[in-house]
Amino acid sequence: MSLADQIYINNYNMMLKNGYWTVDDSLQWPDGEKVNVWNAFGIVNRYDLQKEFPILTLRKINLFKAIDEILWIWQKKSNNIADLGNHTWDRMADENGNIGKAYGYQLGVKHKYPEGEFDQVDRLLYELKHNPSSRRMYANMYNHSDLYESQIYPCAYSLTLGVEHGKLNGILNQRSQEMLVSNSWNVCQYAVLLTMFAYSCGYEPGELLHVISTAIVYDRNLPVLKEMVGLRQFDAPVFKVKKDIDFYEYDRDSFLLENYRFNNADFKIERPIRIAM
């Protein structure tokens, strides 16, 4: 039984107990019906990366597509889906494949510091290598002045890093989280990212904290979630990563997931259509 599964089931139970319904007027189902949303405010989860890699076994998570996306945002610092290599973001892009001034674009903007100009990723790397006791290791993709030129408001919007006894810890802040589709996807991505920062700067990966402002499930997917949390749970797989390489040398072949067992249930997950920001 994986700790990630236990945390996920605890989140589901908390949502059932404390949640509430709203209507999302920016979305509709493909048949034109309105989208009701089950919400729960304020979830905080902790994942110890020394104990296990936090991927769900309740259902299959495509780890390597998730890795492609996190590299696209944090390493390539791109806002064009041509650089992504899969179709995950197609529906969010304009006719030129651009998602506007969101995600990777924000991380690639350079800012002035006493030591010179850095973008947000390179600044984190600089601090980790030269000032590991810093309490200012923070990256933020939610730039209010650029939201009007973005195809999507960032959901996972900030990362704070901190070194403790040779281990690198991180806090991922997320304004909204679709728990059925995206939760384990984002947790795996930032576990990978934290591991990349750690190994490329001489640390061990430590703890990942995931702060979710509002956790949601769309009405038509709530029965799917209920079915999923009742399925068999497996032990966490073994996650292997190349060490002692530069942050920008990592690619999907730098990671290996061994003995990943999961439920093969054919979940019918419906996706609403966005009709307004």
Give helix then strand counts, H and E, for the chain: 6, 11
User: Are the beta carbons of 211 and 171 closer than 8 angstroms?
Assistant: yes
155 is catalytic: yes
Phi, psi of 142 (to 5 degrees): -95, 85
- The helix (run of H) or strand (run of E) holding residue 241 is strand 238-241
CB atoms within 10 A of CB 12: 24
Please give the Cα distance from 68 to 86 (Å, whole number).
8
Start-to-end CA distance of the chain, whole Å, equals 39
CB atoms within 10 A of CB 135: 10
Give the gyration radius of the chain's Cα atoms: 19
User: Are the beta carbons of 19 and 39 closer than 8 angstroms?
Assistant: yes
Q: Which of 61, 155, 212, 217 is catalytic?
A: 155
Q: What are the catalytic residues?
A: 155
